[in-house]
Structure 1
Amino acid sequence: MAEKSEKMTTKQELRAPDAFQLYGAEASSWLEKRQQYIGLALGVALVGGLIAATVHYFSARGEEKASKQFGEALSVLERPVVTGVDLQPAAEGQEPPFKSDKEKDEAIVQSLTGFREANKGSDAAAMAALPLGKAEYRLGNYDQALASFDAFLGKARKEDPLTVSAREGQGYAYEAKGELDKALASFQEMSKLDAGGFLQGMGQYHQARILVAQGKKDEAAQLLSDLKTAQTNTAAGRLATERLAVLAAQGVKVPEPKPESAPAATPDAK
C-alpha cells in the first residue's frame, strides 16, 4: 500500500506546478499577469523597453529589415491580460487587452511563427524561437516547444545569457512529456551555464526534482544538500532547503554537503 502511495506521489509531482515556477524565467510572466494591478502603463513600458532594445540589437548587426519586423511581431507582448475588470473600450488604432493567458499565447504563436517563416536563417528569427517556445509550452504543445528551443540553441552562443532560459524551457518540455532522462540532461546542461540572477543554481535544483521523480531520492538529497550550502542566499538555495525537509519527512537521510560545495571563504580584512 505504501509503495502504491509513493508512486501516486511521484506522478502528482510531475503534474503539479512546483515552487520553482515562482522564480527565474517565470518572473516576467508573473509581472505580466499582474499588470492590471500594478498599473498597465508600467507593464507596457517594461515590455516596450525590451522590444526597443531587441530591435536596436539586431539593427546593429545589419538586420535592419528583420529587426523592424521582429519589433512588430513582438508588439503582441505589449498587450496585457486583463480579467475581472471593467475596462474602457480601446482607443482608435489600439488593440484591446487579452481576455485570457491562452488567448495571448495563441496570438504570440501566430505572430512569431509568421515572423520566423518570413525571415528564415536570420539571427532575429532564431531569437524569436525562444519566446515562441515558451508560448508553445504554456499551451501544452510540447513537441513544438522543443523544436523552437532547439532552433534557438542551434544559433545561440553558449555565453548568451538567454541560453540558460532556453535550456530550462527544454527541460520543462521533456519533463511534461514524461521523458525524464532527456529532461535531466537538459537541466545538467543548464547548470553548466552562468545563470546569475533568479536562475542561479536552478539547473541543479531541477536535476534534483527529476531524480526524485525517478525514485533516486538519495542522489537528489546529495544534490540539494550541496546546493543549499553553495547557494545559501539564492532562490535555488531556499528551495533546496524546503525540498530537503520534504525528503527528510519521507525518511530519506540528508547527507553532508561535499567539501567542494562550500562557498569560498572571504579573506579577513587587514
Structure 2
Amino acid sequence: MRTTVAEKSEKMTKQELTAQDAFQLYGAEASNWLMKRQQLIGAALGVLLVGGLIAATVHYFSSRGEEKASKQLGQALTVLERPVVTGVDLQPAEAGQEPPFKSEKEKDEAIVKALGDFRAAHGGSDAAVTAALPLGKAQYRLGNYDGAIAAFDEYIAKGEKNEPLMVSAREGQGYAHEAKGQLDQALASFQEMAKLDAGGFLQGMGQYHQARILVAQGKKDEAAQLLADLKSTQTNTAAGRLATERLAVLAAEGVKIPEPKAAPAAAQDAG
C-alpha cells in the first residue's frame, strides 16, 4: 500500500515534469522569448502579436549595423509562429501561408533547420548568437543533447553577460548535461544560473536545480541545506514550493532537515 509521502513524491515528480520551466516558458515560443527581448530593444510595453515582436527584433539588430542579418533572422523566426495542430484533418493553407505543423517534433525539426541555415549564413554576427538560444532549446527537445550544449555554450560565451535570457541559457545547458548523465557539469551550470538575476517562474530555480543534482549524486544532506534555504527565502515562488515538497520526500527518506542558513524573505525585505 502506498504511503502518503510516496503519493506526494509521485505528485511532485509529475508536477516537475509538467511545470512551466524555462523550456516550457518558450512554449509560447516566439511570443514569450521575444517579449523578454523587448526589454533589450526598448519596444513598447503591452500585449503584442508575435509578428510585431519579430519586427522589433529585426529593428534591434538593424540598429546595430546588421540590417541584412536582422531581416533574415526575422524570416527564420517566423517558424516559431506556426502552431501545432493534431488530431484533426487540416484544411489546405491559404495562399501565402504555411500550414500548421502536425507534431511538436516536426516543428522542432523545422526550427533547427531554419535557425541552423540562418546561423551558417551569418556566422559571427550578433543575430547568429541570439539564434543559438532557441536553436539549443529545439535541439534539446529533439534529444540532440550535444547539439543543444554546443548552442547554449556559444550563446553563453558570446552573448551579453547582463542579457536577461542568459539565465535560460544556463538552465538549458544544465538540462542538456543532466540528460547526458554529466552531473558535475550540470551542477556547475545550475550554480552559474543561480548567480544570475532571474525573475518570474525562474526565480530561485538555479538553487533548486542544484539540489536536484546533489540528490542524484547521493549528497542528500547538502541538498537538504540548499532546499531549506530556498524554502526560507523564496516562500511564495514556484521554486520555494518545489523545495518544500522535495524536503518532505527527503525527510521521509530519513534525511535530517537543517535550519536555513539564509535569512527569511521577510527579514531581507525589511532590510
TM-score (norm 2): 0.84
Task: Check if 1:141 corresponds to 2:144.
Answer: yes
Q: 1:162 to 1:266 in 2, by over 3 A?
A: closer
Task: Check if 1:23 corresponds to 2:20.
Answer: yes
Q: 1:17 to 1:133 in 2, by over 3 A?
A: farther
Task: Check if 1:157 corresponds to 2:160.
Answer: yes
TM-score (norm 1): 0.84
Cα distance in structure 2, aligned partners of 1:110 and 1:123: 19
Q: Do 1:24 and 1:199's aligned partners in 2 also have CA atoms closer than 8 Å?
A: yes
Cα distance in structure 2, aligned partners of 1:18 and 1:210: 17
How far did residue 88 of structure 1 move?
2.5
Alignment of 1:26-175 (within 5 A): 26-31=23-28, 46-175=49-178
Q: Do 2:232 and 2:263's aligned partners in 1 also have CA atoms closer than 8 Å?
A: no
Q: Equivalent residue for 2:246?
A: 243
Q: Deviations over 1:16-61 (max 9, x none)?
A: 87706512313434446xxxxxxxxxxxx74334322221211121
Q: Please provide the CA RMSD for this pair.
A: 2.2
Amino acid at match of 2:229: D
SS of the counterpart of 1:264? helix
Q: Do 2:233 and 2:262's aligned partners in 1 also have CA atoms closer than 8 Å?
A: no
Q: Do 2:61 and 2:127's aligned partners in 1 also have CA atoms closer than 8 Å?
A: yes
Task: Check if 1:200 corresponds to 2:229.
Answer: no
How far did residue 85 of structure 1 move?
2.8
Cα distance in structure 1, aligned partners of 2:158 and 2:88: 42
Q: Do 1:227 and 1:261's aligned partners in 2 also have CA atoms closer than 8 Å?
A: no
Aligned length: 243
Task: Check if 1:179 corresponds to 2:182.
Answer: yes
Q: Which runs of 5+ in 1 are unaligned?
A: 1-12, 33-44
Cα distance in structure 1, aligned partners of 2:60 and 2:18: 29
Q: Which runs of 5+ in 2 are unaligned?
A: 1-9, 30-47
SS of the counterpart of 1:178? coil
Task: Check if 1:233 corresponds to 2:253.
Answer: no
